[in-house]
Amino acid sequence: MHFDAHALQGQAHLFMPKHLQALMDKAQGATNSGVSDAPEGVARRTFLKVSAASGFALGAFPLVAGAQGNAAAPAGLKPFEQPSAFVRIDADGTVTVTINRLDFGQGVQTGLPMILAEELDADWSKVRSVHGDASAAYADPMMGMHLTGGSNSIKNSYTQYRELGARTRAMLVSAAAAQWGVDASALRTSNGFVVGPGGKKLGYGELAEVAMQQPVPEKAVLKDPQQFRLIGKPTGRLDAQAKSSGQQDYGIDVRLPGMLTAVVARPPVFGARVKALDDSAAKAIQGVKAVLRVPTDRGGEGVAIVADGYWPAKQGRDALKVEWDTSAVTKPDTTALLAQYRELAAKPGNVAMQADMAPLAGAAHKISAEFVFPYLAHAPMEPLNCTVKLDGDKAELWMGTQMPGLDAMAAAKTLGLQPQNVKVHTQMAGGGFGRRAIPTSDYVVEACGVAKAARTAGLSAPVRTLWSREDDIQGGYYRPMHVHRAEIGLDAQGKILAWDHTIVGQSITKGSPFEAFMLKNGIDATAIEGMKEPYDVPMKLSVHHPDVNVPVLWWRSVGSTHTAYVMETLIDEAARASKQDPVAYRMALMGDKHPRHKAALQLAVAQSGYGKKKLAAGRAWGVAVHESFSSVVAYVVEASVKDGTPRLHRITAGVHCNLVVNPKSVEAQVQGAALMGLGMCLPGAAITLKDGVVEQSNFGDYAVPRITDMPQVTVHIVPSADPPTGMGEPGLPPLAPAFANAIAQITGKTPRELPFKLA
């Protein structure tokens, strides 16, 4: 990776789509009593109803923090602005920073502490991090809800963590000034010490107890960015040693005294119920404690086997004889769905964009295209899990969750408890890509239902509900299947005269708490994000959202997983149709309104050697650029096709994410997202259903990229002093179209379906 650190001198990371982010950015943040002003265009009464239903409201959760003392905070400071909730300093000077996000591989347990430690002037070698919980302090300060998603962690908490560090530093200085009897202005800080006149020092550990009793400054005085010594510096992850040595614990590793383990036999068709059950063989297995009929997601019913370990629980499930009642639910079939979607794509839908399509008829060149995108599973390395401990009118939950506040409220409702009596212990998670941020809280609600049923059956121990890999892949909440249809007219010089486009796919937000402000005029904003942008083209865009009995959800980069592919392959095809260089064609279409796109693309082009370097025989260039979650990633790739099999050899990335906190994390996120984007192209990377049953079950029949698929990746970052934007997702969308464009250069035909089918 290449990064110009000097450019920082003198200058100041699923799932959440940018349309929701734009709405939420208009909110003024959360207050102690709940949510601030509603986004524009949303009635306050409606917004508050949505907020309460979705877990936005903060008032239900008391401020529970690892407070060190009881410093007096100004009345104007919100919970997420108070150092006591985020900083603990031990006597030996160790600084523990609480992060307000789930870390599931993206590195926020390093990035957020870096920001705070920068302003604190902490000794980085003594900085540690822990997860927060569902307390008010740990809500996203911009969105007023507990959320890890939308690549918002650094973007939304950058200023927050700077101010937390600055306030803590001021309190340490105040404590030292009182001890020495000098004015605070005569003191400075350096690497974990307050330095006084004559060079005398007091370590942060020596001052911590008294410092945290000091009044919390209402105004945080921030560093001049020229003084940054951590922000912008490539920094190793705080969890690297634990993960590389196998010592890192995840939610699946939770162990509590007397804990039991449950697995659930879920209906083969979503929402089906138990018709008849013979559990005699299951109960006979040593270690099985109970066999319980329990509610499952979407109104379904399953059978939970509770045992003293995973293996007897699994054996018990395997021994069950269940007859399922599927009479009340539809049984989707992806082959039939595709035919239905194609019919819909040929008809006008709800209009999202309008433009004059008359020029289509007389266009010199026309492009007619249909694109097919399958359902995709999230398939994180750590399958879903949730441990529940019931104690009278209280409950504790352990899991890796992207929405601890929402999940806590859903747990409270399921268990019949007051929300303040539910405590969430957020665990490190082994991936998620949006699957741990469910508006229905499906796996959490199910686990609570199992624990409740176990308690009723006389089992008082904590219960850990585990999903197997097969459960995870067949358990629903997929990236929706989509069909796109486009008709484009160009003049003789390649100018796009008219672009008529239709999208068919399920709505992600329909029926969720987000529907009120994400589904407008029958159009889900997540389905169309990334369309048209950044190109100045006359586009008519319409959308169909069929109802299908398949649970769908955001998947890393949400709508951009399909819209970027469509846009970037069609733009490339338009360039080829008019015999223009695809890079120059893009630059001209962008005009003067998209300098960040241009900078990212130019950087990738320059660093790749595009147009200058001679490629090996059989290889071709492929180019794509796309913005998602306020960051732009451009790819220039080298690919080949041999015996009908495409191969990606090299990726050069140009990234514009404004100011970079940790270049190593940006590099890692782009590499990981590129590999996941490549995974979308691999044969077998699709979820299919027949008679309502998911046909894939594990990595043997659901393809994910492996180390042998990984090409060489170099990441180059455009220097910027502007506030950071997100990097958890933007590296994914442009990879597949860049690869496809290289294939088209070789074969003369753009792949129109993912995964690639070249035969």
Which carries the bigger pLDDT value, residue 73 or residue 277? 277
Each residue's pLDDT tens digit, 136-177: 999 999 999 999 999 999 999 999 999 999 999 999 999 999
DSSP H or E segment with residue 289? strand 288-295
> To which residue do tokens 């080949």 refer?
640
Q: What is the pTM of this model?
A: 0.91
Give me the helix-helix angle, 153-180 and 204-211, nearest 10°.
90
Each residue's pLDDT tens digit, 649-692: 999 999 999 999 999 999 999 999 999 999 999 999 999 999 99
Q: What is the mean pLDDT of residues 515-532?
A: 96
For residue 76, name the pLDDT band (cuts at 50, 70, 90).
confident
Report the alpha-carbon distance of residue 592 to residue 603 in Å, rounded.
17
Each residue's pLDDT tens digit, 613-643: 999 999 999 999 999 999 999 999 999 999 9
Give me the helix-helix angle, 735-747 and 663-679, nearest 10°.
50
* DSSP conformational letter for 97: E
Distance of CA 360 to the CA centre of its chain: 39
Q: What is the mean pLDDT of residues 536-560?
A: 98
pLDDT for 3 beyond 60 = no
Share of the chain above pLDDT 70, in %: 90
What pLDDT is attached to residue 71? 60
DSSP H or E segment with residue 638? strand 631-642
Q: Which of 410, 463, 417 is nearest to 437 (CA)?
A: 410
Residue ranges of domains in the chain, CATH in brackets: 12-244 (3.30.365.10), 251-328+384-466 (3.30.365.10), 347-375+478-747 (3.30.365.10)
Q: What is the mean pLDDT of residues 179-201?
A: 97
Report the alpha-carbon distance of residue 4 to residue 90 in Å, rounded.
36
Question: Is the distance from CB of 125 to CB of 238 less than 8 angstroms?
Answer: no
Q: What is the mean pLDDT of residues 484-508?
A: 97
> Quick one: residue 153, left, alpha or beta (phi over 0 = left, psi -120 to 50 = alpha)?
alpha
Question: Is the distance from CB of 505 to CB of 481 less than 8 angstroms?
Answer: yes
Three-state DSSP class for 650?
strand
Residue 480 token pair: 């929706």
Q: Residues with Cβ < 8 Å from 304, sequence gap 6 or more?
A: 262, 263, 264, 265, 290, 291, 292, 293, 294, 450, 453, 454, 465
What pLDDT is attached to residue 144? 92
